[in-house]
Amino acid sequence: VRVSLFVPCFVDQLTPQVGLATAKVLKRLGHEVEFRSEQTCCGQPSFNSGQWDVAREAAIRALGVFRGAEVVVGPSGSCVAMMRQFYPELLKGTPHAAEADDLASRTFEFSEFLVKKLGVTDVGAKFAKKVTYHDGCHALRELRLKEEPRQLLRAVKGLELIESEEGETCCGFGGLFSAKFPMISTAMVQVKGGALARTGADYVVSSDPSCLLQVGGWLSREGKPILPLHIAEVLAHDA
């Protein structure tokens, strides 16, 4: 399959290793990977803030960027949900509606693509660490992905998966919410981060790099000995 990478804007700028790991795993499985450099941000910050007219422009732009791509794969439940669930809603009743539906049908979250589209759970990774998994809200509640990332993790050699008490609880990130309502966002990550730290895992793994910014940022500030790691980074480990 020829995969067009959808790299979230903040991954591009802050955690590029997530994008590189995603490409590495896909290439290792024998797929061709391209990155269309005209892509920037999917418009989710504006969409979530209620600025749908602004977000619509970003959506129309993205349709052009990914035009003709066989499949689009992104290492983020939240950004993929934007493209897959919310572009069609944003562009409903406009001349772009059909193309939005079409792009939605070709867009996948990374773990979803591996398990549901390619039928792969063992990607040949080795990672002898204890990890706990955090379900991002968009992956869990919009894309309905719960077992897929866990199947992938369980197939990693040496990896021990520990479930936390608050596996499905929101981390409190929510994009601009985390900065507009920092007190609520922090209260939420205290609950989430506390439960993650109590698992005794070495890493908290998620398919959502934005959640990892939030939990990782809080865990680091609190000096908890557990590090954030994207699932693609785990799956890219082969030595």
Partner 1 sequence: MSDSKAIFLKDATVNAADGDQRAFIRKALGGYYLNRDLQKARYRDWERARDAASMAKWSAVNDLANVLEKFVGNFERNGGVVHWARDAAEARAIILRIAEDSKAKAIVKSKCMTSEEIHLNDALEKAGYGVVESDLGEFIQQLRGEAPYHFVFPCMHVKREAISELFTKHLGTAPTDSPEELTMIARRHLRQLYVDADIGITGANFLVAETGQISITENEGNARLTAALPRIHIALSGIEKVVNHLDDLSVLLPMLATAGAGQPMTCYNTLYSGPRKKGECDGPEQFHLVLLDNARTRLLADPEQRDALHCIRCGACLNVCACTDACPVRIDLHHHLLHNRRNAAKESPTLFDRVFHHGFNFVIKRPWLFATGGRIFRATLPLLQKLPVPYMRAWMKTRDLPKAPARSFRDQWKNENV
The site for partner 1 (CB under 8 A) is made up of: 7, 9, 11-17, 19-20, 23, 35, 37-41, 43, 45-52, 54, 57-58, 61, 137, 141, 169-170, 176, 178-184, 186-189, 191, 213-214, 216-218, 220-221
The residues pairing with 72 across neighbouring beta strands, listed in sequence order, are: 4, 107
Phi, psi of 204 (to 5 degrees): -105, 120
Of the two residues 153 and 219, which places its CB atom closer to partner 1 in the complex? 219
Contact 208, 184 (CB under 8 A): no
Of the two residues 179 and 239, which places its CB atom closer to partner 1 in the complex? 179
Of the two residues 48 and 151, which places its CB atom closer to partner 1 in the complex? 48
Q: Write the DSSP string, 154-207.
A: HTSBT-EEE--TTTTS--S-TTTHHHHSHHHHHHHHHHHHHHHHHTT-SEEEES
Cα 210 from Cα 35, distance rounded (Å): 20
Work out how close the CB of 38 gets to partner 1 at its nearest, in angstroms, rounded to a whole number: 5
Which residue is associated with the tokens 């797929």? 31
Of the two residues 121 and 186, which places its CB atom closer to partner 1 in the complex? 186
Cα 165 from Cα 28, distance rounded (Å): 34
Which residue is associated with the tokens 């050699």? 157
Of the two residues 16 and 158, which places its CB atom closer to partner 1 in the complex? 16
Work out how close the CB of 186 gets to partner 1 at its nearest, in angstroms, rounded to a whole number: 4
Work out how close the CB of 77 gets to partner 1 at its nearest, in angstroms, rounded to a whole number: 14
Tokens of 120: 């792969």
Phi, psi of 41 (to 5 degrees): -120, 145
Work out how close the CB of 51 gets to partner 1 at its nearest, in angstroms, rounded to a whole number: 4
Work out how close the CB of 92 gets to partner 1 at its nearest, in angstroms, rounded to a whole number: 11
Of the two residues 55 and 156, which places its CB atom closer to partner 1 in the complex? 55
DSSP single-letter state for residue 83:
I
Work out how close the CB of 179 gets to partner 1 at its nearest, in angstroms, rounded to a whole number: 4
